[in-house]
Amino acid sequence: MNQERRHRLRATCVLSLGGFSSGAPERLGRFLDIAVSSLLVLVLSPWMLLQACVAWCVSGTVFARTRYFGRDGCFDKLAFARVAPGSDLACLLNVIRGDLALAGPRPVAVSELGAMSSAALLRFVTRPGLISPFRLQRSVGIAHESESVAENQYALEQSLAGDVSLLLRWIPARFVASAQPVAAAPPTVRMLGVSIDNIAMDEAVARLTSHDRQTPLRATFVNPDCLNLAYENETYHAAVSSSALVMGDGIGLQLAGRMLKTPLEANVNGTDMFPRLCERAAKEGLSLFLLGARPGIARAAAKTMTARVPGLRIAGWRDGYFEEAEEPDVVETINRSDADILLVGFGAPRQELWLEKHEARLRVPVRVGVGGLFDFYSGRIPRAPMALRELGLEWVWRLAREPQRMWRRYLVGNPLFLWRVLMQRRKGDA
């Protein structure tokens, strides 16, 4: 089948979905796209003209064109022919022409089309955008869904307010975004003397759910607060370092990875992982034991998740407030439950030290320290809205909710962590 015919077929498929935006919001969106990109072209015109002249002199042509597929069929995405900072600015002309919008699903090169599933084509119900939701989430390490899921969802729910909010979130996100491509990421990243496994969310979930029952696997999430603790407390440092899997949690670690020029692939935090872990566990027939938080909280979290994830087995739960003398009893309860995965939410460093202390007595193969996770899933503490998480500001939300408990962790701990990372960079100990 020739290429043009294939494109026509795909376009027909898109049209048959019948989801094109239309009407007043569409016209207003288009008007804003034209107004903003024309203004940008006007302001940046000296730089763009210079780029155009250099491209013409060096390459004999002003634009490099790449064939893309969008809402209305194929188009040429423009860039200045000589690659230089800002050569991509030429695609503002695509926005004015109507091939692209400022915000929308990532445009797809014609060369990519062949490898795309038909489900992924749903994104074409709307104009592709220069700024896409998936790219925004990936830049701050929270793109845990596949690209097509994120882009399709955005395309189907597209609204003017959503577009404006995406553009507004994108501006500050640029400051925390990873500058280096994920492909450049090393397998482990060393921060303040701790080696962090540089893996994406899916891989972390796979490691926890495909582990054999013979050897125990202890896994730890580390955020800036944990790394500060590990820096100051040798026992905790040893407990973290002896974990088989260390996952980097939070925007602070993304920033630090960038400062050390060893970018972390993803923000692998327990709160985002929990539903994914439950889904995978249900699929694999694995059961979970939830240990930690105030009385009633682990149980409420178990209830929420069993209602949400069909087939999920919670083998047991227990609160995290007990005396040392009760510990053998707690271990016995966990062992009797015959759970496959134990989640311990006592907060750091207690959970890691507790897991290390009972390493030999526990029979559950996979053990993970998860912090205040159960509080979120029980509904005791609401999680930060997505827009704040995309800006890397979940910590501000937590600080606002529990200022007395969190001020030291965030207002003192975060700058101290970044300072220590800076010192590490100076010493070249990356």
Instruction: Give the integer Cα–Cα distance in Å for 70 and 367.
Output: 46
Q: What whole-number distance in Å separates Cα of residue 394 and Cα of residue 269?
A: 12
Nearest CB to ligand UDP, comparing residues 105 and 292: 292
What DSSP string runs through 323-378? -GGGHHHHHHHHHHHT-SEEEEES-TTHHHHHHHHTTTT---SEEEE-TTHHHHHH
Interatomic CA distance for residues 346 and 371, integer angstroms: 6
CB of 252 to ligand UDP, least distance (A): 12
Residues within the interface to ligand UDP (CB under 6 A): 292-294, 320-321, 345-348, 371-372, 374-375
Give min distance, CB of 142 to ligand UDP, in A: 16
**Residue whose CB is less far from ligand UDP, 295 or 311:** 295
Nearer to ligand UDP, 102 or 196 (CB): 196
- Judged by beta carbon, residue 154 or residue 346, the one nearer ligand UDP is 346
Strand order in the sheet with 63-70: 73-80, 63-70, 108-109
Kindly tell me which of 152 and 267 has the beta carbon lying closer to ligand UDP.
Answer: 267
Name the residue whose CB lies closest to ligand UDP: 320
Q: How far is the CB of 353 from ligand UDP (least distance, A)?
A: 12
Nearer to ligand UDP, 113 or 192 (CB): 192
CB of 74 to ligand UDP, least distance (A): 48
Tokens at residue 200, please? 């994406």
d(CA 54, CA 420): 43
**Least distance CB 346 / ligand UDP (angstroms):** 4
**Minimum separation from the CB atom of position 211 to ligand UDP (A):** 23
User: Exposed, middle or buried, 328 (CB in 10 Å: 0-12/13-18/19+)?
Assistant: exposed
* Shortest distance (Å) from residue 92 CB to ligand UDP: 42
Q: Which residues of 43-89 form beta strands (DSSP E)?
A: 63-70, 73-80
In angstroms, the Cα distances linking 427 to 51, 131, 346, 362, 415 are 39, 37, 34, 40, 18
Which residues touch 360 (CB under 8 Å, ≥6 apart)?
A: none
Distance (Å, whole) CA 259 – CA 273: 25
CB nearer ligand UDP, residue 263 or residue 320: 320
Q: Which residues contact residue 418 at a Cβ distance below 8 angstroms, ignoring those fewer than 6 apart?
A: 224, 252, 255, 256, 259
Query: What is the SS3 assignment for 119?
Result: helix
Shortest Å, Cβ 292 to ligand UDP: 4
Name which of 381 and 430 has its Cβ closer to ligand UDP: 381
Name the minimum Å distance from CB 375 to ligand UDP: 5
Compute how many other C-beta atoms are within 10 angstroms of the C-beta atom of residue 60. Answer: 8
| Shorter beta-carbon distance to ligand UDP: residue 89 or 291 | 291
Q: Are 165 and 387 in contact (CB under 8 A)?
A: yes
